[in-house]
């Protein structure tokens, strides 16, 4: 047998094993999710607030914001719905929420057995780990397909709804890279540069009924539980945008992540300490856009509904910054950057992220997209002083490891990872 034939055999075997495994997974997931949908839960009114033991929330003197008069105290908001959209730096934000939750001993509504709420099916509160009607939860933040009515039956009335958007052209590129292989119709796209070929004639390749096709068109709109295949002039697009505007207090932007955090701090009465972060789950070379101006234009045209959504919230974002004060914003962002840089020099070996292959501890290995090792991670310094060790560790910890530490059993996700390790995919 020649080397070439051997390779072909190997890849065929890989395909067979994978196919069988994926099918079993789908059946399993289907059984699990459908068995949950069948019993209907009693309707118990949710409480007004789940901010337990308010004395623990350390009321503090408010900063001199335009919304709060000086001298008044405010209490950090503890009841939070974070709608985690895909490929939007949301792993970085989740890390920050996990730390905030631990600091104030808040109760998270986590999924069970995996790290999302059976995405892409719409969220059901029965998917929450150990859920019983009438229970109090403070924070929900794992991936879900948003379902406002069902979320409202889970979280208290004073919950702050927060989300984050990203430029749809960049998001599309990232999603294509990360999820493209999970979308069967991409398998038949010829050539090395599938993204360019797809954007050359997306209507030819795209199959709206195709398995996982939502990853490759208006993914933001889809994540919010809306129809991602609407034409731009469909009135339901405007309606969808209005619905998000009314439901969410704060819509952050990836491109202005620090500014977003400062607005969050202002809206939820947090402290600067709560905003410290390292960029997690970043892709190698992701600081520069991989799109030429022409491809970018095509990607925006293809994701026109998301583009409209993004432009709308870009406008409201800058209005909020105006109200906050541009100068004050610039100062606060500079302070946050300075503090983050200080933490990086305390915690991170070499001061920056490294390739997966150079990460020494398995605990610090981030989850990789199928077929590659493009997501970077960190090595923690060995000699971090005792005062910072715990914080450094938590700030650097990838999402799945942190979820495990918070008591989420991720057996489905982990099994899937094992199988990928074995077949080296
Ligand atoms: C606080 O806000 C008031 C207006 O509400 C303003 O007159 C005052 O200068 C501000 N103080 C500081 C320290 O920014
Ligand atoms: C977002 O808004 C700012 C300020 O209005 C504007 O300068 C910028 O071009 C907008 N960006 C997009 C992508 O629309």
pLDDT at residue number 290: 80
Share of the chain above pLDDT 90, in %: 59
Q: Which of 169-178, 327-336, 354-363 has the lowest mean pLDDT?
A: 354-363
Q: Around Cβ 231, how many Cβ atoms within 10 Å?
A: 9
User: Angle at CA 228, nearest 5°, toward 223 and 230?
Assistant: 150
Residue 201 CA to residue 10 CA, distance in Å, equals 33
pLDDT at residue number 114: 83
Pocket test residue of 314, 317, 319, 323 for ligand 2, highest count of atoms within 8 A of CB: 314
- Reading the block at residue 290, the tokens are 């991989």
pLDDT surpassing 50 at residue 49: yes
Provide the terminal-to-terminal Cα distance of the chain, rounded to the nearest Å. Answer: 23
pLDDT surpassing 50 at residue 66: no
DSSP 145-212: B--HHHHHTTS-TTPEEEEEE--HHHHHHHHHHHHGGGSGGGGG--SS-HHHHHHHSHHHH--TTSTT
Q: Find where tokens 């129809």 sit.
A: 227
Nearest ligand to the CA atom of 306: 2
Atom of ligand 1 minimally distant from the CA of 64: 1
64 lines ligand 1 (CB under 6 A): yes
User: Angle at CA 342, nearest 5°, toward 337 and 347?
Assistant: 125
pLDDT surpassing 80 at residue 204: yes
pLDDT band for 235, please (50, 70, 90 cuts): very high
- Reading the block at residue 73, the tokens are 């105290």
pLDDT at residue number 62: 46
Q: Do the Cβ atoms of 224 and 248 come closer than 8 Å?
A: no
User: Angle at CA 133, nearest 5°, toward 131 and 134?
Assistant: 110
Residue 312 CA to residue 164 CA, distance in Å, equals 13
pLDDT digits (tens, 9 = 90+) for 380-413: 999 999 999 999 999 999 888 898 889 887 777 7
| Alpha-carbon torsion (233, 165, 410, 100), positive or negative | negative
pLDDT at residue number 256: 97
Nearest ligand to the CA atom of 316: 2
Atom of ligand 2 minimally distant from the CA of 167: 13
Burial of residue 7 (CB within 10 Å: 0-12, 13-18, 19+) is exposed
Cα(313) to centroid(ligand 2), Å: 10
Please give the average per-residue pLDDT across 17-35, as a whole number.
62
Q: Which of 267-281, 288-302, 370-384 has the lowest mean pLDDT?
A: 370-384
pLDDT digits (tens, 9 = 90+) for 106-134: 999 999 888 899 999 999 999 999 898 88
Which residue, by CA, sits nearest to atom 5 of ligand 2? 315
pLDDT surpassing 80 at residue 103: yes
pLDDT band for 195, please (50, 70, 90 cuts): very high
Cα(35) to centroid(ligand 2), Å: 46
Cα(70) to centroid(ligand 1), Å: 8
Q: Around Cβ 224, how many Cβ atoms within 10 Å?
A: 24
Please give the average per-residue pLDDT across 171-186, as a whole number.
90
pLDDT band for 32, please (50, 70, 90 cuts): low
Q: Do the Cβ atoms of 208 and 229 come closer than 8 Å?
A: yes
Q: Do the Cβ atoms of 116 and 412 come closer than 8 Å?
A: no
Cα(329) to centroid(ligand 2), Å: 17
């Amino acid at each position: 047998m020649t080397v070439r034939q051997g390779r072909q055999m190997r890849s065929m075997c890989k395909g067979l094993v994978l196919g069988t495994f994926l099918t079993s997974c789908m059946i399993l997931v289907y059984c699990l999710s459908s068995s949950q949908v069948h019993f209907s839960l009693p309707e118990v009114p949710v409480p007004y607030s789940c901010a337990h033991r308010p004395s623990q929330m350390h009321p503090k003197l408010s900063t001199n914001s335009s919304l709060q008069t000086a001298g008044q105290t405010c209490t950090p908001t503890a009841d939070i719905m974070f709608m985690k959209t895909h490929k939007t730096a949301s792993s970085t934000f989740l890390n920050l929420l996990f730390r905030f939750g631990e600091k104030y001993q808040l109760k998270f509504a986590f999924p069970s057995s995996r790290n999302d709420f059976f995405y892409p099916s719409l969220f059901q509160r029965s998917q929450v780990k150990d859920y019983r009607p009438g229970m109090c939860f403070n924070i929900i933040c794992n991936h879900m397909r948003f379902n406002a009515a069902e979320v409202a039956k889970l979280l208290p009335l004073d919950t702050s709804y927060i989300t984050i958007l990203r430029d749809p052209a960049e998001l599309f590129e990232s999603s294509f890279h990360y999820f493209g292989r999970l979308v069967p119709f991409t398998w038949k796209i010829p050539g090395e540069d599938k993204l360019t070929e797809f954007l050359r004639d997306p209507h030819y390749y795209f199959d709206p009924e195709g398995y996982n096709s939502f990853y490759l068109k208006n993914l933001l709109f889809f994540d919010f539980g809306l129809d991602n295949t609407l034409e731009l002039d469909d009135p339901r697009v405007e309606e969808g945008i209005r619905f998000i505007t009314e439901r969410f207090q704060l819509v952050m932007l990836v491109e202005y992540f620090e500014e977003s955090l400062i607005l969050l701090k202002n809206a939820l009465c947090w402290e600067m300490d709560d905003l410290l972060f390292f960029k997690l789950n970043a892709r190698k070379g992701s600081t520069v856009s991989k799109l030429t101006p022409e491809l970018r234009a095509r990607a925006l045209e293809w994701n026109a509904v998301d583009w409209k959504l993004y432009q709308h919230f870009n406008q409201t974002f800058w209005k909020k910054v105006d109200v906050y004060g541009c100068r004050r914003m610039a100062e606060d962002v500079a302070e946050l950057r300075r503090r983050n840089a200080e933490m990086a020099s305390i915690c991170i070996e070499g001061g920056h992220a490294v390739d997966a292959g150079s990460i020494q501890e398995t605990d610090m290995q981030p989850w990789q997209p199928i077929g590659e090792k493009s997501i970077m991670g960190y090595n923690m310094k060995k000699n971090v002083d005792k005062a910072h060790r715990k914080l450094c560790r938590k700030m650097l910890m990838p999402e799945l490891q942190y979820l495990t530490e918070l008591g989420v059993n991720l057996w489905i996700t982990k099994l899937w990872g094992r199988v990928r390790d074995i077949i080296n995919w």
